[in-house]
Structure 1
Amino acid sequence: MPIASSRSAVTGLVIGCVIFGLGSLIVAHVDIGGWAMAFWRLAISGVVFAVLAKMTGQRLPRSKRAIFYGLLSGAFLGLDLALWHESIYAVGPGISTLLNSLQIFFLAAIGFLYFNERQSVLQLISLVLAMLGVAMIGSPEFAQNKAATWGFITGIVSGAMLAASMTFIRKTHDTEPTPIFMLMQLVSIGGGLAMIVPMFVFDMGNMLPNTWSDIGWILIYGTVMQCLAWGLIAYSIPKLSLALTGLLLLTEPVAALVIDYTWLDKPINTLQWSGALLTMFAIYLGSLKPKPRALRRYRFFAKFYKHPYK
């Protein structure tokens, strides 16, 4: 690969991840429920992807099963976003984004349980390190934040929902290769529909923006974070090695932690910073290319890295 192309891919990936980190700041700033925020993000992005699909002549897959899997992937993505938003409200953008990044370990579990993928020693070590890092982050948080339990539960479960969404992206492509804009339109539709009932149940009275400023931020959240940032990441990842990709993707939780600490004045002590660094190191280890005997799992993960969402 030409050096200039590699540098542009690195730059695009870092910018995309930082923009995603800024998205958590919008969630914390706009006074709207987490489920409603997920609905509006997916509804807005669905319109954008529909226009892009129309402009590029992309069509729905012929297989009804592929369409179903695409919609189901969106439903899980909606749950991921809503729970991530709830975690942001409870423990802040930094910790919630870091917990959501644990999705790579849920992917490993799915690969082991449903695709007969063997776990490497490095994967197991990274899992232990991640658990230790989360414990280091959580111990002070539980002592000073009454909402910490809810924030950690929703943050970790959101990672599981993201892994499930990625799994059905794979099943969509396995059933019938689907053009990217049309695929993301299906995902957006499925996620938006899945959010309607929970939004009315959990966010009644807090579903609509109250000011023109809030409307503007929601439009930015749905277009810039879901479409532009995702586009930069989707463009960059295939041009880089998985090892470098795994490292650069950590700029998202790093950016969220810095934003949380500097802009939102969240107290983060030395033990929590150390736990965050250890957890990010564990996530990086979990993203490294496995040895030849685990090549099948490497290919399994490679498919998901081409379809990031946050």
Structure 2
Amino acid sequence: MRHHSSTSPQPFPLLKLLFGSICISFSPIFIKLADVPPDTAGFYRQLFAAMSLLVLMFLRRENLKMAQRPRLLLWLGGAVLAIDFMCWHRSIVLIGPGLSTLLANFQIFFTALFSWLFFKQKISKMFILAVVMALCGLFFITGVDVKSLEKGYELGILLGLMAAIFYSGYILLLKMSLNDSSVNSVAAMLMVAIPSALLLAVIAPLNGASFIIPDTNSLFALIGVGVVSTTLGWSLISSAIKHIQATVAGLILLLQPTLALVWDTLFFDRPTGGIEIFGILLILSAIYIGSDRK
């Protein structure tokens, strides 16, 4: 989804990318605040996203017309994203919004790995260094004293990494669909949100989850993650990123996992020691190096 641009960064696209990253950084916070099961949260997230995307399409006078192949790719992407949400939302519950979001951003490495496996794209020495840095950072956060980890913590880490794998699959399917000139980004997001919501609507009750929203705070949190984080956040990013140099865009997009950790510390009193901060900085540096597509 990142585009190289020979032009210098423009102030307005930069602001849009910045604001979009901030919007998305709140998504794990909204999920944590919504007092509903993980799959129910995913369903309402995509439902409210789809509703707001329809409004956005109406205002922009766009339509859903596109070729059959990208439509099928987007539907498949929606199904993969639903599984990603199932993993990530559970990870948020087990290890908190900050760390789960950091792990979900490991998608950078899995996307490159899948691109190498399926599309024969080359992997650089710098990328291998980035992977080693990320794994070392994860060790500093979690592996220094395994015995001290709370119950469910290891499962939360595993689910966070699984979320990254499924998210990378979604990213590749989205990229393949957007290569088609008949697809615009808002229509693409809607074509993802609808099958994603439908799949979660089937899966949630099978897992014993209820669709009842217990209180107003939960309702606002679910509207927040659907409208603010998903529709507004991704619309701003997708419209701005093509006008910004890849290295600058990569740096700004790092705000998303960084701010998620900040919000986790501020709102939920996440304890963060010196070694853990070093691990977090190591992972963020690795994600930045890994995102460089030179």
Superposition pairs for residues 1-310 of structure 1, below 5 Å? 6-139=10-143, 142=146, 143-174=148-179, 177-205=182-210, 207-290=211-294
Give CA deviations for 1:166-197 in whole Å, capped at 9, x if unaligned. Answer: 11112323456312222111100121122122
After alignment, is 233-242 or 168-177 more displaced? Answer: 168-177
Distance in 2 between residues matched to 1:141 and 1:242, nearest whole Å: 38
Distance in 1 between residues matched to 2:268 and 2:240, nearest whole Å: 30
Q: CA deviation at 1:203?
A: 4.5
- Structure 2 gap segments, 5+ residues each: 1-5
- In structure 2, the CA distance between the partners of 1:289 and 1:108, relative to structure 1 (3 Å rule), is closer
Give CA deviations for 1:47-84 in whole Å, capped at 9, x if unaligned. Answer: 22223334434333453332211111111112222321
- In structure 2, the CA distance between the partners of 1:22 and 1:141, relative to structure 1 (3 Å rule), is farther
Distance in 2 between residues matched to 1:6 and 1:176, nearest whole Å: 25
Q: Do the aligned residues in 2 keep the contact of 1:61 with 1:176 (CA within 8 Å)?
A: no
Aligned structure 1 segments of 4 or more residues deviating by more than 4 angstroms: none
Letter in 2 for 1:254: T
What is the DSSP-based 3-state SS (H/G/I as helix, E as strand, rest coil) of the residue aligned with 1:31? coil
Q: CA deviation at 1:2?
A: 8.2
Distance in 1 between residues matched to 2:126 and 2:20, nearest whole Å: 28
Distance in 1 between residues matched to 2:29 and 2:177, nearest whole Å: 32
- Structure 1 gap segments, 5+ residues each: 291-310
Letter in 2 for 1:152: I
Q: CA deviation at 1:134?
A: 1.1
What is the DSSP-based 3-state SS (H/G/I as helix, E as strand, rest coil) of the residue aligned with 2:209? coil
Instruction: State the TM-score, normalizing by the size of structure 2.
Output: 0.91
| Equivalent in the alignment of 2:3 | none
Distance in 1 between residues matched to 2:140 and 2:38, nearest whole Å: 27
After alignment, is 172-181 or 155-164 more displaced? Answer: 172-181
Q: Do the aligned residues in 2 keep the contact of 1:246 with 1:288 (CA within 8 Å)?
A: yes
After alignment, is 29-38 or 232-241 more displaced? Answer: 232-241
Distance in 1 between residues matched to 2:36 and 2:20, nearest whole Å: 24
- In structure 2, the CA distance between the partners of 1:60 and 1:7, relative to structure 1 (3 Å rule), is closer
- In structure 2, the CA distance between the partners of 1:176 and 1:70, relative to structure 1 (3 Å rule), is farther
Q: CA deviation at 1:165?
A: 0.8
Give CA deviations for 1:250-280 in whole Å, capped at 9, x if unaligned. Answer: 1111111111122201212211111010000
Distance in 1 between residues matched to 2:145 and 2:223, nearest whole Å: 32
Give CA deviations for 1:15-37 in whole Å, capped at 9, x if unaligned. Answer: 22222222221211111111111
- In structure 2, the CA distance between the partners of 1:10 and 1:175, relative to structure 1 (3 Å rule), is closer
State the number of aligned residues: 288
Distance in 2 between residues matched to 1:268 and 1:196, nearest whole Å: 37
Q: Do the aligned residues in 2 keep the contact of 1:33 with 1:203 (CA within 8 Å)?
A: no
Work out the percentage of aligned pairs sharing the same amino acid: 25
Q: Do the aligned residues in 2 keep the contact of 1:66 with 1:176 (CA within 8 Å)?
A: no
After alignment, is 144-153 or 96-105 more displaced? Answer: 144-153
Distance in 2 between residues matched to 1:244 and 1:219, nearest whole Å: 30
Distance in 2 between residues matched to 1:176 and 1:7, nearest whole Å: 27
Give CA deviations for 1:198-256 in whole Å, capped at 9, x if unaligned. Answer: 21122424x32111232122112211111111122222211211111111111111111
After alignment, is 189-198 or 109-118 more displaced? Answer: 189-198
